[in-house]
Structure 1
């Protein structure tokens, strides 16, 4: 590591991998930082944002509004949590992106089958109350102290991920939306963040903070050159 030349590195990929490899990659990033190389985003940010449990803890601890969430290991506890969350939940893997592995469950019999099957595989249960959102949510790109662009993601079903077929629509970025996104990014130590927000009867709720946000879809509905903005932010803040 002492032979590495750059003063900083822009982390734009982390990769899907078994847990052991994920920890090893985090260790590599930790070692790079130990040798004085500035990472954007930092190793800590990547650890928090890539783990839905940690993200939920940080957001809840700092009073960021989010859907009610329960995390447990035992399928019996998970089934009780299903009832506690109103019998209509979204079950998510702790790690992952693009909507892969996310399932909505609103039937108790189906919940029993899914939860006990996953229990046999020693899975962790991350259950979140389903929030009615008219098949639409919001993605906001945050760079440091600025919310630079946003979009609606609109779908024909409850999943609003672009990779699941959702389409983009322009968004007027209000002060309330911008402030919430910036706060969520700061709480999770994420300098370059894609913050997912849903409009609900309870108000604005933060769903997730992505520390390696894609921006191809967002670029289609904003006048900013997003790649240029990201590189400019990196060069300024990595002090290269």
Structure 2
């Protein structure tokens, strides 16, 4: 098959890993920059040009759409869908998972446990903060990756000044309970085609509360409990993601989904676990393109 990876980063670990896995299965792999596509609709047909050349020989695409390119990137994926080309992650799923509040609404409808979360509006900040009874509060921008746009406020008083400042900038954000017992750690599970193919526990570096490896956190292999695995699979299903990373907090009341990532990085978890996740993704394509 001819398989394209939609990515601006041809030299990134994840991209290279996917190329190796595809070529090992005798597929023709290429990296296509989303910014170099021209999308159009002509006479009722979806059309695509790449570097002024028509796209007419692809069997499948692997979207690696960055947060800064969500709108155009998801539009590109939808164009491939309209052309009947298989994509491992659907355009609508990218959009829904990228917006944290939308994803929490969908997860809640599916009965997936998440931390207590409040969408902030400009009516009454103090009333919204009272929901957390002066406990530590996490303030999150609706879109953000690698721990960016996440602030820990010690209490409602300190949170008020921050959210008033954010509100003046027009940024959309939410409030979320701080799960102190997780002690700056979370669990990352990678789901491919309805199966958890790898999992690790991430621990924040000293002095931080965000466990992202990009921010200096550490990681170790972990075996998920039945409840954690079941939760990860339900989250992936709710957001209709064939491939995703599900971040889970271990709380006193059971596992809670913190976030679902439609474009999870592969370097940290493949290095930590020794699992070839890229091979699983290629297998997913093969099962759907027989």
Give yes or no for TM over 0.5: yes
Shift of 1:116: 1.2
1:134-179 CA-to-partner distances (Å, cap 9, x unmatched) read 2211000100121111000012332111111110011013332221
- The alignment yields a C-alpha RMSD, in angstroms, of 1.7
1:200-239 CA-to-partner distances (Å, cap 9, x unmatched) read 11111111111101121111232322222222222322x1
Q: Secondary structure at the match of 1:220?
A: helix
In 1, the alpha carbon distance for the partners of 2:224 and 2:67 equals 32
Shift of 1:72: 2.5
TM-score (norm 1): 0.91
The answer for the alignment partner of 2:282 in structure 1 is 231
Q: Check the 8 A contact 1:10/1:234 in 2, yes or no.
A: no
Tell me which protein shows more strand as a share of its residues.
2
Q: Please say which of residues 116-125 and 138-147 is displaced more in the overlay.
A: 116-125
1:96-154 CA-to-partner distances (Å, cap 9, x unmatched) read 11000100112334222211111111222311111111221100010012111100001
The answer for the alignment partner of 1:33 in structure 2 is 81
Query: Unaligned regions of 5+ residues in structure 1, if any?
Result: none
TM-score (norm 2): 0.76
The answer for the alignment partner of 1:195 in structure 2 is 246
**Alpha carbons of 1:168 and 1:30: their partners in 2 closer, same or farther (altered >3 Å)?**
same
The answer for the alignment partner of 1:140 in structure 2 is 189
Aligned residues between the structures? 234
The answer for the alignment partner of 1:85 in structure 2 is 132
2:185 is the counterpart of 1:151 = no
Q: For the pair shown, which has the larger CA radius of gyration, 1 or 2?
A: 2
The structure, 1 or 2, with the larger RCO (C-alpha pairs under 8 Å, 6+ apart) is 1
The answer for the alignment partner of 1:9 in structure 2 is 61
Which of 46, 70, 82 is the matching residue for 2:94?
A: 46
Q: Check the 8 A contact 1:149/1:173 in 2, yes or no.
A: no
**Alpha carbons of 1:216 and 1:126: their partners in 2 closer, same or farther (altered >3 Å)?**
same
The answer for the alignment partner of 2:116 in structure 1 is 68
In 2, the alpha carbon distance for the partners of 1:182 and 1:80 equals 35
Query: Unaligned regions of 5+ residues in structure 2, if any?
Result: 1-46, 49-53
